[in-house]
Amino acid sequence: MRKADLTTMRSPINRVRGLGAAKSGTAHFWLQRVTAVANVPLVMGFVVVVVALLGRNQAAVVQILGSPIVAIAMLLFIVSVTWQRGSACRSSSRTTCITRAGASSR
């Protein structure tokens, strides 16, 4: 253990768990990044699927959505976007801080 660690009031186990005052900082941080990276290809896939289904009747839509690749992509898309959003409601603002620093220098 580094000497600097002993000067903090947080216990080593608390540091390892990565839990600050919010109790979920590290988990939230990683959840946001992992879902954000996953969302990039998943959104592209979702857009392609929706465009491909435009104007088709229900039977054709069910058939296409029911094919394994499309179904898995749609499922992953829904899980990823809803999970990220549910978690984002508790996030703190990074860009607002950046914006303030930038705007105040003008």
Partner 1 sequence: LEKITMAETRVPVERPLSPHWTIYHPALTMLMSIAHRITGGALYFGTLLLAWWLMAAATGPQGYAAVQWFMGTLIGRLILFGYTWALLHHILGGVRHLIWDTGRGFGPIEREWLVRATLFGSITLTVVLWVVGYLVLGASR
- Residue 87 interacts with partner 1 (CB under 8 A): yes or no: no
Yes or no: say if 61 and 93 are a contact pair by the CB < 8 Å rule. Answer: no
Q: What is the dihedral of CA 77, 79, 81, 84, to 10 degrees?
A: -150
d(CA 32, CA 87): 7
Q: Which of residues 35-64 bind partner 1 (CB under 8 A)?
A: 36-37, 39-40, 43, 47, 51-52, 54-59, 61-62
Q: Minimum CB separation from partner 1 for residue 77, in Å?
A: 9
Q: Which of 10, 23, 85, 90 binds partner 1 (CB under 8 A)?
A: 85
How many helices (H) and strands (E) the chain has is answered by: 6, 0
Q: What is the contact surface with partner 1 in residues (CB under 8 A)?
A: 33, 36-37, 39-40, 43, 47, 51-52, 54-59, 61-62, 65, 74, 78, 81-82, 85, 88, 93-96, 98-100, 102-106
